[in-house]
Amino acid sequence: MKNYQKGFSIAGLFMAIAVFLGFAHTANNIATTTTERTGTTTTHSIATSDNATPLNGWVTYSNTKYDYSISYPRTWYINTQWSNSDFTPRGPAPSNYIGGDTSISNYSQSYLDEYQKKNGEMAVPSDILRVNLMFWKIPATTSLNDALNSIGVAQSSDEESNRQSVTIAGITGIKTTDQRGIGGNTKANNVGIWLKTGDELINIGYGFDGNNSGLTDIANKIIASFKLNK
């Protein structure tokens, strides 16, 4: 893969997840679940303790296979078609095993399907924001930094990305920010939260640009609501 040794683009990974979720939805004709309306490490808090509690008008999705819950605005949509999927070999290296793909967005999958029929299979509305969650299987003895290095996540020394310390669900993890964007969009910023528990690496992330930057506060609150039930 081009730029693999430098570190794969988080944007590329999130786009792959989005395409996977959307293509699988169309190919299998299954209705999407919706709800109606390291260099130097610095300390970073993604949300206050108040924000970690589901807000008024939010609903909570619970997953018993991977033992977690996450909340989102009632007017947003959640795609759980692959939320209980087993670990399968995917990702930037053949040894990567990924499962439990879940996507939360301000657009429903059915709307996106119609949008792409009219505008092309990779087209999305300019103000879309999608929070993606997935699990990676890794050796339990591997440190978080080593796990990220092994899957090619860019180092802090990469001028286009950085890593910061973050605490979510009582777990100290790493926040990565990648500014390489999708398709050469230099405005794009892609945020990934990486948490390690036992032999699982949890990744929650989203991408934004100038058209949807106002939604990042909601995305951060969605991430802050993540809780492990183990």
CB contact at 8 A, 191 and 176: yes
In this structure, is residue 26 part of a structural domain?
Answer: yes
Range of the domain at 150: 10-228
In this structure, is residue 90 part of a structural domain?
Answer: yes
CB contact at 8 A, 33 and 105: no
Buried b (16+ CB within 10 A) or exposed e, 99-125: bbbbbbbbbbbeebeeebeeeeeeebe
* 3-class secondary structure, 69: strand
In this structure, is residue 73 part of a structural domain?
Answer: yes
In this structure, is residue 1 part of a structural domain?
Answer: no
Chain centroid to CA 216: 13
In this structure, is residue 3 part of a structural domain?
Answer: no
In this structure, is residue 142 part of a structural domain?
Answer: yes
Write down the pTM of the prediction: 0.73
Buried b (16+ CB within 10 A) or exposed e, 38-70: eeeeeeeebbeeebbebeeebeebebeebebbb
CB count, 10 Å around CB of 1?
10
Q: Taking Cα atoms as reference points, which of 207, 176, 170 lies closest to residue 193?
A: 176
* Length, in residues, of the chain: 230
The tally of domains found in the chain comes to: 1
In this structure, is residue 4 part of a structural domain?
Answer: no
Return the DSSP state at 5. T
* 3-class secondary structure, 131: strand
In this structure, is residue 220 part of a structural domain?
Answer: yes
DSSP assignment string, 159-188: TTEEEEEEEETTEEEEEEEE---STT-TT-
For each of the chain's 230 residues, which pLDDT tens digit applies? 333 333 344 444 544 444 444 433 322 222 233 333 223 332 322 332 333 345 678 999 999 999 999 999 999 999 999 999 999 998 766 678 999 999 999 999 899 999 999 999 888 888 889 999 999 999 999 999 898 888 877 565 544 557 889 999 999 999 988 765 444 444 567 899 999 999 999 999 998 776 677 788 999 999 999 999 97
Chain centroid to CA 77: 15
CB contact at 8 A, 218 and 160: no
Q: Which CATH number is 51's domain given?
A: 3.40.1000.10
